[in-house]
């Protein structure tokens, strides 16, 4: 087609792919139920006709919270057909966050599942939309979706040509919420083009083709889920949908469906390695060609583990809700390159800024600042844009990193992911990277705990490797000293846990650890 794929609206991608490869499979779920591209287009139109009866149309904000089901993809496509402003919500959100988001976006409709994983979502939705302080509670409709979607007659819909945005326009179509490290989650504003820009460029880095089978094992309501949907429409590959990742059962689903590309972050990658180690005489994933993704810092030994155990490269990168794809390695890169977070994506740029905002030289650590076609359009709350961009409109990520002599990005931590001991800043990631080298450490998080003398002390919260009975503070101190970690950075407290709390995308919830251990 004449227009570049990342310049198309989501609905145009849906119809284009359905005409190009109508019988190819868009997605398959855990019950092996397949959804072809043409069936997807048709179902989206029927569901759009049903949703239109609730007054949903162009630019109308609609919040939806569904597990990673094929039905979730249909809801996204149906709302795209109507030109709505979509507000995808992670299923882990509860009343406080949902109420805030509905008020801020002024959503007129909320789509939720029935009871799922022990949560009564219809009751939760009812509690949210009937709160007395909800400014728009009198006009928020609720649709409950299990594995059946409401449908109507597509003939009742306005023609797509009548509501399609002009070629020169790039209207807001998405509000993705960050995980909420501040008092409230932040709403990031995206268009179809900003999300498609990341999808197209990541397809290139992974060399995706119609023969690929992607493991969609994290929440589809995350910006990465929508990016994978667009990427699949562009290249014609299928999604293997896993509604809630369980290492043993989910790995069986991926193996049965011939997974070729699997993500999405350290917790998932380690699960794939563990699955292969459980049955060393059988290839766990016979068609796998790469593990990909990001979302959280990876243990420094993981690249080697993936290569040695699974026989495929670990192809990682760096991005955020604000810029879903800042930099990424490619499947063709060398082992040395893949220890980094990759080169900036095509048509994008990254620089490292000092405290005064000026660019720092190669090799120096500072704040990562980025620009590119996948960059969001700002926060929904205008006040949150203050300080988020530099004078040239580049986004200040709040993450620390450096560019090496080859132009590769190396993320070293978050500006705020530090431990301030006696007035000196300690990078939590630096401490974690050293601890990961200890054979008894399977997983670790370095967190700051309040201390009267030091202000904060460094606490290492450790998950032991199977078969290891204990790891003392003396053991940790000896290990860190042997690896030449500066004395002031060596942990002063060690806590052993069965697992680290993580959100649905694999990031460690450090605040939970601080709250837990500060009290003891």
The Cα 505–Cα 296 span in angstroms is 8
pLDDT at 337 over 70: yes
Q: What is the CATH number of domain 30-192?
A: 3.40.50.12780
The Cα 483–Cα 493 span in angstroms is 18
Residue 370 or residue 270, greater confidence: 370
For residue 120, what are the contacts with CB-CB under 8 A and spacing of at least 6?
A: none
DSSP category for residue 6: G
pLDDT for 96 equals 82
- Only one residue has tokens 């060398």, namely 334
For residue 282, what are the contacts with CB-CB under 8 A and spacing of at least 6?
A: none
pLDDT at 181 over 70: no
pLDDT at 428 over 70: yes
The set of long-range contacts for 492-495, using a CB threshold of 8 Å and a minimum separation of 24, is 492/454, 492/457, 492/458, 492/459, 493/449, 493/457, 493/458, 493/459, 493/460, 493/517, 494/459, 494/460, 494/462, 495/459, 495/460, 495/461, 495/462
What ranges do the domains of the chain cover?
30-192, 245-414, 418-518
pLDDT for 138 equals 61
CATH of 245-414, one of 3.40.50.880, 3.40.50.12780, 3.40.1280.10, 3.40.30.10: 3.40.50.12780
Give the DSSP H or E segment for 235: helix 223-235
* Alpha carbon distances (Å) from 438 to 40, 384, 482: 49, 41, 11
DSSP category for residue 237: -
pLDDT band at residue 41 under the 50/70/90 scheme: very high
What is the dihedral sign for C-alpha 440, 500, 228, 172?
negative
Q: What is the pLDDT of residues 126-168, one digit of tens each?
A: 999 987 655 455 679 999 998 999 999 999 999 999 999 998 9
* Alpha carbon distances (Å) from 353 to 235, 317, 327, 356, 397: 36, 20, 16, 8, 11
Query: How is residue 269 written in tokens?
Result: 């990658």
Residue 22 or residue 510, greater confidence: 22
Give the DSSP H or E segment for 248: helix 247-256
Secondary structure of 346-357 in HEC code, one letter for each residue: CCCEEEEECCCC
pTM: 0.85
Q: What is the pLDDT of residues 220-253, one digit of tens each?
A: 999 999 999 999 999 999 999 999 999 989 999 9
Q: Are 68 and 229 in contact (CB under 8 A)?
A: no
Q: Would you say how long the chain is, in residues?
A: 520
Q: What is the CATH number of domain 418-518?
A: 3.30.300.30
Q: What is the pLDDT of residues 47-95, one digit of tens each?
A: 999 999 999 999 999 999 999 999 999 999 999 999 999 999 999 888 8
- Only one residue has tokens 């990673």, namely 68
Phi/psi for 254 (5° steps) reads -65, -40
pLDDT at 373 over 60: yes
For residue 96, what are the contacts with CB-CB under 8 A and spacing of at least 6?
A: none
- Report the chain's mean pLDDT, rounded to a whole number: 92
Fold identical between 245-414 and 418-518? no
Query: How is residue 359 written in tokens?
Result: 């660019």
């Amino acid at each position: 087609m004449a227009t570049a794929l990342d310049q198309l609206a989501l609905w145009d991608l849906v119809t284009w792919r359905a005409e190009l490869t109508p019988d190819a499979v868009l997605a398959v779920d855990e019950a092996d139920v397949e959804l072809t591209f043409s069936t997807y287009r048709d179902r989206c139109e029927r569901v759009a006709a049903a949703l239109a009866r609730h007054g949903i149309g162009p630019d109308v904000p609609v919040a939806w919270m569904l597990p990673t089901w094929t039905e979730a993809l249909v809801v996204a496509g149906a709302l795209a057909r109507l030109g709505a402003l979509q507000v995808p919500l992670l299923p882990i959100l509860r009343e406080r966050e949902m109420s805030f988001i509905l008020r801020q976006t002024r959503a007129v409709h909320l789509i939720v599942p029935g009871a799922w994983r022990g949560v009564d979502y219809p009751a939760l939705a009812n509690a949210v939309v009937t709160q007395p302080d909800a400014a728009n509670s009198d006009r928020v409709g609720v649709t409950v979706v299990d594995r059946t979607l409401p449908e109507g007659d597509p003939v009742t819909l306005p023609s797509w040509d009548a509501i399609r945005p002009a070629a020169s326009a790039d209207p807001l179509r998405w509000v993705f919420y960050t995980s909420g490290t501040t008092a409230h989650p932040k709403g990031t504003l995206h268009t179809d083009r900003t999300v498609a820009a990341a999808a197209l460029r990541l397809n290139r880095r992974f060399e995706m083709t119609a023969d690929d089978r992607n493991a969609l094992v994290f929440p589809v309501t995350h910006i990465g889920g929508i990016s994978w949907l667009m990427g699949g429409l562009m290249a014609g590959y299928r999604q293997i949908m896993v509604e809630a990742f369980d290492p043993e059962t989910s790995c069986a689903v991926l193996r049965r469906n011939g997974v070729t590309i699997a993500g999405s972050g350290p917790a998932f990658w380690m699960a794939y390695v563990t699955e292969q180690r459980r049955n060393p005489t059988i290839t766990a994933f016979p068609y796998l060609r790469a593990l990909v993704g990001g979302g959280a810092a990876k243990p420094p030994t993981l690249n080697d583990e993936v290569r040695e155990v699974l026989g495929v490269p670990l192809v990682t990168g760096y991005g955020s809700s604000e810029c879903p794809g800042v930099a990424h390695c490619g499947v063709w890169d060398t082992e040395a390159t893949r220890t980094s977070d990759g080169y900036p994506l095509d048509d994008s740029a990254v620089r490292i800024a000092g405290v005064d905002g000026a660019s720092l030289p190669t090799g120096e650590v500072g704040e990562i600042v980025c620009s590119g076609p996948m960059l969001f359009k700002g926060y929904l709350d205008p006040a949150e844009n203050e300080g988020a961009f530099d004078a040239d409109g580049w986004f200040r990520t709040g993450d620390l990193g450096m560019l090496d002599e080859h132009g590769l990005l190396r993320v070293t931590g978050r500006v705020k992911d530090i431990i301030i001991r006696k007035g000196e800043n300690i990078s939590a990631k630096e401490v974690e990277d050293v601890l990961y080298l200890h054979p008894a450490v399977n997983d670790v998080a370095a967190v700051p705990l309040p201390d009267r003398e030091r202000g904060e002390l460094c606490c290492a919260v450790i998950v032991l490797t199977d078969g290891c009975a204990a790891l003392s503070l003396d053991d940790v101190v000896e290990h860190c000293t042997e690896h030449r970690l500066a004395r002031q950075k060596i942990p002063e407290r060690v806590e052993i846990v069965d697992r680290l709390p993580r959100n649905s995308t694999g990031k460690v919830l450090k605040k939970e650890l601080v709250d837990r251990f500060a009290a003891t």
